[in-house]
A = this chain, B = another copy of it.
Amino acid sequence: MASDANVKRRFRGDGDISRIPSPLQHMETSNVEIGLNAAIVAVMDDEPVALVVRGEADGSGGIDGLPFGPFSPVEHRTLESGLRSWVAEQTGLELGYVEQLYTFGDRGRHAEPGDVSPHIVSIGYLALTEAGHARDLQRGTWRSWYHYFPWEDWRRGRPEVLSAEIEPRLREWALRPAVRTAPSRPVQRSDRVRICFGLDGGGWDEEKVLDRYELLYEAGLIEEARRDGREAALAWGTLPRLGAPMLIDHRRILATAIGRVRAKIKYRPVIFELMADDFTLFELQKTVEAILGPHLHKQNFRRLVESAGLVEPTGEVKTRTGGRPAKLFRFRREVLLERPAPGVRVKPARV
C-alpha cells in the first residue's frame, strides 16, 4: 500500500488515523476533475436573466452553457476565487455576491455511453449582480431563465406548457413501475409528481425548481436525459422540447440557483445585490416579483420593507414614473450588521 505512508504524513502532528480501517488503496482518485460553474443572475427590465456562454463553432448555433472551468489548486487559492477568475476570463465580469450551491457528482449524468473521459464533479455557485453593472460584458449573453424553464414562468398565470405537455406525460410516467433503487421507504412516483408540480389540489411551491427539473429528467422528458443515454419515456420524436438544453449538467445547476434565490430572498436581504444603489420601492417590488413570480400586495410590501428597516430614503425622488414621483431609497447596509438580518418575507398576494 504505497499511499499509506503518504496519508500518515498528511496527518502527522495531529495523531494518527491508523485505527480507521485503511482502505486507502483507493486514495488515488485520478480521473476526477472538479468543475466550477457559475449561475450568474440579474434582473433586467423586470426579467430574471442568467449569464450564458454559447458555443457556436460548429455552425449549428451550439448549445448554451454557464461560465465554468476546472478547479486548479495550483492557481486558485480557494474554490471561490477559482470561480471568479474563470468568470472574469470568460465573460469579463467581476463577480460581487457569490455563494456555493451544491456539488454534483452522479456518474452517468453528463457522460456519454462508453465514455472513458474523466469523471467530473461539478460545484455549482450562485452569483447575484446588478443589472447596470452587468451590461458591460466582453462575452456571453443574458438570457431569461424561463428560456430554460418555461414551466417556472407563472407571471401570466399558470404556464400553458404544464397542462399541455408536461402533466399528461408525467401522469403516464407515474403509472409505470419504478425501478427500485433506494431501499426503505419508497416514495411513489405519483406522489413525487403531485408534490413537485402541485397537482391534485396541491399548491405550486416556487422553490422546488430543482426537484421539478430532476423529475422531468428522470421521466426522460428533458433533452439532457436523452443525451445522457437514458431510456426515453416515449419515442423521442414525439416529445416536445421542454425548455432549451444546456451543456453538461448546467441546467441542473441553474435550477438549483433559481430555487436558492427564490428561497433566500425571503430570509436574507440578498435582493439588494440585484438593485442599483438608489431605487424606488416599486422597482424593488418589481425585482422581487421577477424572482418569485406572482404579484405582491403593494402597500403591504412597502410596509414590510420599511418597517423591517431594510431601506432608508435618500431624500431624492424619481420623476417621470408615470405618476406621482417616487421617493428613492437605498439599502441600509447596517442591517447586515444587525442581528439575524432578515429578507423580504413575502407571501404572494391572492393566488
Contact = CB atoms under 8 A, between A and B. Distances in A.
B227 A55 contact: no
A184 B100 CA distance: 19
Contact of A32 (B32, B195, B227, B338): B32
Contacts of A76: 107
A243 interface: no
Interface in A81-100: 89-90, 96, 100
A262 to B, nearest CB: 13
* Copy total for this chain: 2
Q: How large is the interface on A (under 10, 10 to 19, 20 to 34, 35 or more residues)?
A: 35 or more
Contacts of A29: 32-34, 70-73
A234 interface: no
A53 B15 contact: no
Contacts of A100: 102-103
A57 B57 CA distance: 58
Contacts of A195: 337-339
Given A18-B55, A78-B105, 9 more contacts: A12-B112, A15-B55, A16-B56, A17-B62, A18-B57, A20-B90, A32-B34, A77-B108, A96-B184
7 interchain residue pairs of minimum CB distance: A73-B119, A15-B62, A15-B63, A16-B57, A18-B57, A79-B105, A17-B55
19 contacts: A13-B227, A15-B61, A16-B56, A17-B57, A18-B55, A19-B57, A19-B62, A21-B89, A23-B89, A24-B70, A26-B74, A29-B33, A30-B30, A32-B71, A73-B107, A100-B102, A195-B337, A202-B338, A203-B339
